[in-house]
Amino acid sequence: MEKEEKKEIRLKGGIYITPKDIQVLSNCTIQQARLEHQTIRDILEVERTKLTVKAYCEYFKLDYDLVVSYLNPYR
C-alpha cells in the first residue's frame, strides 16, 4: 500500500501571524490580540513582528492546516 501524502495548505500573504489574524481566530478586540501577540513573542523570545503562524499553532497546540484554511480568506 502506498502512503497517502498529506498536501499542506499554502498560507497566503506570508508566514508571519499578525494581531489582526489573532483577532480573526480568537474573536477578540485588536487590543487583546496585540497583547496576546506580544505575550507569545516574549515567551518564545522572537523578534517583534516575527511570530510565525506555525509557532503560534505549536504554542496553542492547534492544527496548522485548520488555522491556515481559516485565515486565508481574510488575507
Work out the pLDDT band at 4, boundaries 50, 70, 90.
Answer: low
Which range has the worst mean pLDDT, 9-13, 25-29, 64-68? 9-13
Q: Which long-range contacts (CB under 8 A, 24 or more apart) does 19-23 make?
A: 20/74, 21/53, 21/71, 21/74, 21/75, 22/56
User: Which residues is 52 bridged to in the sheet?
Assistant: 16
The answer, yes or no, to whether residue 1 has pLDDT greater than 90, is no
State pLDDT tens for residues 51-67: 999 999 999 999 999 99
pLDDT for residue 20: 97
**Which grid cell sits at 31?**
487590543
Instruction: Tell me how far apart the alpha carbons of residues 67 and 29 are, in angstroms, rounded to a whole number.
Output: 19
